[in-house]
Structure 1
Amino acid sequence: MTETASLPASPPDGRLVYRCLTGKDDHAFCERVSKALEEGWRLHGSPSITWSVQDNCGYLAQAVVWGGADVVKR
């Protein structure tokens, strides 16, 4: 969904306009981000990744903001 004009100013389910999605660098994480984008959330900033030697895997963080909100990046 790319049209923000049709989205309400507030996100559904009483959520805040900002979310930070986190998780292992795997298919499930990509599905969560993709679902958020389909629901009307927008990527905000660059993703971040860190490597866990103990778990032998990467962990990602991606901020998203509600598409209908008036968010100013400073």
Structure 2
Amino acid sequence: MQLYRFLSADDTSEFCHKVTAALNKGWALHGGPTYAFDHANGVMRCGQAVVKEVDGTYTPDLKLGEQ
């Protein structure tokens, strides 16, 4: 099955570490990163979609971050 996650965080090194950790767990980038200004908090936010092929059957209670 193919899994999909959307990672997001403030535009800091934390976001880069989050994406790097996912890549090192076998996830692959899906499309380009996104950036948006969070008016409520006054910061830029980043997002990146990642995908991964794994064995098994998808269920909504699957913990994607643990894959």
TM (norm. structure 1) is: 0.63
| More strand per residue | 2
2-structure distance, mates of 1:34, 1:21 = 11
Does 2:13 align with 1:27? yes
Cα deviations across residues 10-67 of structure 1 (Å, max 9, x unaligned)?
A: 5xxxxx700000110111111010000000000001111001344332101100000x
Q: Normalising to structure 2: TM-score of the pair?
A: 0.69
Which stretches of structure 1, 4 residues or longer, exceed 2 Å deviation after superposition?
Answer: 52-56
Distance 1:53 1:63 in 2: 22
Match of 1:39 among 2, 21, 25: 25
Counterpart of 2:44 in structure 1 is: 58
The unaligned stretches of length 5 or more in structure 1 are: 1-9, 11-15, 70-74
What is the CA–CA distance in structure 2 between the aligned matches of 1:50 and 1:62, rounded to whole Å? 12
The 10-residue stretch of structure 1 (55-64 or 17-26) with the greater mean CA deviation from structure 2: 55-64
In structure 2, runs of 5+ residues without a counterpart are 55-67
